[in-house]
Amino acid sequence: MRLIQLGVCLALFLAVFAGRGASPSSRMAQLQQRLQTVLTADTDFRAAFSALGESLSGQGPILGELGEFCIQVFGAEGGLPEGAEDYVAETDFRTEQNFLNRPADSAEKAAHYLRLEHVPEDWVTPPQPAAPVQIQAAPVAPAVGTVILQADYPGPALPENYTMDQISLGNLQTVTPLLGHLRSTYGYRDHPVDGEYKFHNGVDIGGQEGDAIGAFADGTVDYIGKNDTHGLYLQLDHGNGIKSFYAHCSKLCVSKGQLVAAGEKVAEVGSTGVATGPHLHLELKWNGLHLDPSYYVEFLSA
């Protein structure tokens, strides 16, 4: 019986769309009379619904009229789900329109159309917690003087206070004093002027006469000078026993005791002293131990 009632309501819904003309009260009376006949008799349903449709000729809220009619026909206990009369009321058109005009997930839509006050918790996929932002701590540099790369050096014994290993400079912020091609490496070599095989205690970086030479790091001018071998030269003290030495300069731009910042111009490229052309001879030392500058500066590769 319940299924028949629901089927009748569906048929009436279709009939309401087609119906026009009669006032709501007169249509309710006509529809109730015909529906009672449909529910209590062995009736030709197609003919009965056709007859019902003929009584609908007015205009008005379709679902509201249908809801009112079904309630009058079946009664509050006759089979309409609780809350259905509110669902089909005219004011629900505005509610429905507002609902359709906003985003809603599938669980909300199901709850809305089933007239549930709240979305059951087990219908809703719980939001996945956002992955915690991994804040990486700044890498801690090894303590100054720590060996961070032990060189595989097969050559002759090194002079005293020289190493081929890479030594940590701690958190010292450094720059390349002159970006140029590597003309001569740190280590044993045939001297380009006197031809003697001896240890070269720095690197030679090619440049043009007058090119700016920047400070390797923040520091203080330890000393400046000039001699026959190195020409114009200077040394910077960067603290923690770290020092940088610059030679064969054409001009010195600082004075002893002056504070300088990393990259600040301290001299210009030249070929003073024993040199075959303009270049920078750069040395690095830690507590008097000579280091290979190529671990700490960059060069042009082509």
Stretch 54-80: mean pLDDT? 47
pLDDT interval class at 235 (50, 70, 90): very high
CATH 2.70.70.10 in the chain is located at: 147-295
Whole-number Cα distances in Å, 62 to 24, 29, 88, 91, 208: 11, 17, 9, 12, 92
Mean pLDDT of the chain: 78
Stretch 276-299: mean pLDDT? 98
Q: Is residue 22 helix, strand or coil?
A: coil
Q: Is the dihedral of CA 65, 68, 72, 78 positive or negative?
A: positive
The winner for highest mean pLDDT among 55-59, 118-122, 194-198, 292-296 is 292-296
Domain 147-295 architecture: Distorted Sandwich (2.70)
CA distance 258 to 251: 16
